[in-house]
Structure 1
Amino acid sequence: MIIKTVIWDMDGTIADSAALHFRAWQATMRRYGIDYAYQLFIDSFGRNNAEILAEQLDDPDAATIAAISLEKEAAYRSLVTPETLRPNPGVLGLLEGLRRDGVTQIVGSSGPMANIAAMVRAMDIGDYFLALVTGTHLPKGKPDPAIFLRCAAVAGAAPGECLVIEDSVHGIEAAQRASMCSVAVGALAASDALRPYQMESGAGASVGIADLSAVQDAASLLARFG
């Protein structure tokens, strides 16, 4: 199938927000007597707050999870500014190239809508996207494919007509479970963790591109999956 829609993950893919998120998690969890280690943070990439907090807290109820999640996200948004958050190398060029070629673009993120909207505003990239689909809309985060399937529905595209750009194993797995092709970016592109998902063709094909600056043009990227 021809790729008609590109679904962008936000955190780590469009922008390297990890340091800001980690600072927000550390400050929040410290208030509850938890030393939130960096490896725990890394292992949680692509998952939603409810899933993370359910593992870290001692049998929390839904109200506690919701309250702490709101606290953490407010802490994160207070750190997001045009000075602290900028698109990763190659992202703006690819966003522009895809728009020029008439490809629909959507953000598909496990993060809360308020966060994703704040990030889009800080980077001034809202005009590139048809919609923002986030964890606010759906109860399960990646690797559940629901977010990406919702993106396809919003775009009016079949799953096989969608390409996902992701930086987490959870996101790549979600794309394959949705029968969508994917591009793994950043450190994941050369990681052993990508190997179980890596294939060059067919439904759910996935390739690694460490730096989107290396993409010559949008058409050449999409042609790899056409």
Structure 2
Amino acid sequence: MIKAFLFDLDGVIVDTAIYHYQAWKQMANGLGFDISEEFNEQLKGVSRMDSLDIILTHGGIELSQEEKLALATQKNENYLNLVSKMSPEDILPGVTDFFAQVKKENIKTALGSVSKNAKLILESIGMSDDFDAIIDGTKIAKGKPDPEVFLKGAEELVVLPEECLVFEDAVAGVEAGKNGGMKVVGIGKKEVLTQADVVFENLVGVDIHELLAQIN
């Protein structure tokens, strides 16, 4: 029986990809070149330093490690400045209605995000109080597909892994939930999230009772 819902943040609750792009674009422009949204696609899911290397190669620029670290720090500051201006309008479609159902059914909730900026984003969109536990990048040592972030969520909610339902938009996140012995709802495309137990394009119109009937 499912007693808790564990949610990834980016791609499930909000979409911060545009803010990463704007921060990288700002940095690239400062170096004298530009990056397109199409180019930015290859940076998704890539670490900050690796993304920086890809961008510098694109711009034909070579820098010392010290200079790279300074640029990466500046990019993150730009990104934080952008996400701090997020509002409830940035919440993805269907999320607010779905969480109203969750509250009504008294289902425990936890955030399971590898982002170290998760709390800032939740505060900006007004959803900090919607989670009984928040596990973010400051509380874990291993990223997804390691299940650590979700196992810690279950632990803080005092439920067993098999009593948890994970909501994820990324392949590595779905694998993390599965590796933790949990059922997983994929948010995105069925042909991509093949390991998920059930997949929805988004949370619009998703009924909790029907969902749990499918899962159980």
TM (norm. structure 2) is 0.80
Distance 1:92 1:122 in 2: 15
Indicate how the Cα distance of structure 1 residues 73 and 210 shifts in structure 2: closer, same or farther if over 3 A, else same. same
What is aligned with 2:108? Answer: 104
1:163 pairs with 2:153: no
Distance 1:173 1:183 in 2: 11
Equivalent of 1:135 in 122, 134, 137: 137
Distance 2:179 2:40 in 1: 28
Q: How far 1:75 moved relative to its partner?
A: 1.5
What is aligned with 2:212? Answer: 222
Counterparts of residues 48-197 of structure 1 (less than 5 Å) = 49=48, 70-80=73-83, 81-83=85-87, 86-112=90-116, 115-185=117-187, 188-190=188-190, 192-195=191-194, 197=195
Deviation string 1:72-118 (CA, Å, 9 cap, x unpaired) is 33211211224595111110111111111111111111111xx2122
**Greater than 4 Å deviation, 4+ residue runs:** 28-36, 47-58, 63-70
Distance 1:219 1:143 in 2: 28
Q: How far 1:130 moved relative to its partner?
A: 1.0
SS at match of 2:111: strand
- Structure 2 gap segments, 5+ residues each: 57-61
Q: How far 1:166 moved relative to its partner?
A: 1.0
Kept after mapping to 2: 8 A contact 1:184/1:208: yes
Counterpart code for 2:12: T
Distance 1:54 1:70 in 2: 14
Distance 2:140 2:67 in 1: 19
Q: How far 1:194 moved relative to its partner?
A: 1.9
Kept after mapping to 2: 8 A contact 1:9/1:166: yes
Counterpart code for 1:210: E
Distance 1:142 1:68 in 2: 26
Counterpart code for 1:213: V
Counterpart code for 2:165: L
Kept after mapping to 1: 8 A contact 2:177/2:183: yes
SS at match of 2:109: strand
What is aligned with 2:10? Answer: 11
Q: How far 1:55 moved relative to its partner?
A: 8.6
Kept after mapping to 1: 8 A contact 2:198/2:215: no
What is aligned with 2:59? Answer: none
Counterpart code for 1:179: G
Distance 1:151 1:105 in 2: 9
Q: How far 1:15 moved relative to its partner?
A: 0.9
Indicate how the Cα distance of structure 1 residues 5 and 83 shifts in structure 2: closer, same or farther if over 3 A, else same. closer
SS at match of 1:23: helix
Counterpart code for 1:159: P
Deviation string 1:146-198 (CA, Å, 9 cap, x unpaired) is 1111111111111111111111111111111111111111xx333x2222x14
Counterpart code for 2:129: D
More moved, 86-95 vs 138-147 = 138-147
SS at match of 2:193: helix
CA RMSD of aligned residues (A): 3.0
Q: How many residues align?
A: 207
State which structure, 1 or 2, has the greater radius of gyration over its C-alpha atoms. Answer: 2
